[in-house]
């Protein structure tokens, strides 16, 4: 089910929708994630929300007092790897040698945080290019 925050009708629901959007946007812009999961809990119901950079997918209402769906989700989430958790595995920390080489070549200050980007070459599937770059800032 796709969730459209503009379909909420009451002003209280609009405030909650705006708050959820703000939280998801903050996490996705501050961390190297491909997606995140949020659990929205009402009195006796909840919704699981999967956010990515294109929007959100929301479950139907789940009764957390009667259905074990949240527990099942949390157990399965706990048993998966970092990629399933939403971490972008193409972004890693460069080795000290790579950091030194990047700072020497580009005359970077030592206080700029660096990341290593791994990008596959579509024309050569077995080859991956690696780039050392500074973290984004605003």
What are the residue ranges spanned by the domains of the chain? Answer: 5-85, 91-134
Please count the residues of the chain: 138
pLDDT at 4: 56
- Displacement of CA 114 from its chain's centroid (Å): 19
pLDDT at 91 (0 to 100): 84
| 80: CB partners within 8 A, 6+ apart | none
Q: What percent of the chain has pLDDT over 90?
A: 5
Lowest model confidence (mean pLDDT) among 2-6, 46-50, 83-87, 131-135:
2-6
Of 36 and 12, which is predicted with more confidence? 36
pLDDT of res. 5 = 52
What's the distance, Cα to Cα, between the start and end of the chain in Å?
34
Question: What tens digit of pLDDT does each residue of 85-127 get?
Answer: 788 878 888 888 888 888 777 666 667 788 888 888 888 878 8
Q: How confident is the model at residue 1 (pLDDT cuts 50, 70, 90)?
A: very low
Query: Across the chain, what does the average pLDDT equal?
Result: 82
Contacts of 45 (CB under 8 A, 6+ apart): 61, 62, 63, 64
Report the 10 Å Cβ neighbour count for 59: 17
- Does residue 27 have a pLDDT over 70? yes
């Amino acid at each position: 089910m796709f969730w459209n925050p503009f379909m909420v009708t009451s002003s209280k629901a609009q405030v909650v929708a705006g708050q959820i959007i703000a939280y998801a946007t903050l996490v996705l812009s501050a961390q190297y994630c491909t997606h995140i999961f949020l659990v929205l809990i009402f009195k006796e119901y909840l919704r699981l929300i999967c956010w990515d950079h294109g929007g959100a997918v929301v479950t139907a209402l789940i009764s957390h007092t009667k259905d074990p769906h949240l527990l099942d989700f949390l157990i399965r989430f706990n048993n998966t790897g970092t990629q399933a958790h939403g971490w972008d595995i193409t972004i890693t920390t460069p080795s000290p040698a790579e950091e030194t080489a990047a700072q020497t070549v580009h005359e970077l200050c030592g206080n700029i945080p660096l990341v290593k980007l791994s990008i596959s070459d579509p024309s050569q599937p077995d080859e991956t290019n690696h780039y050392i770059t500074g973290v984004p800032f605003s």
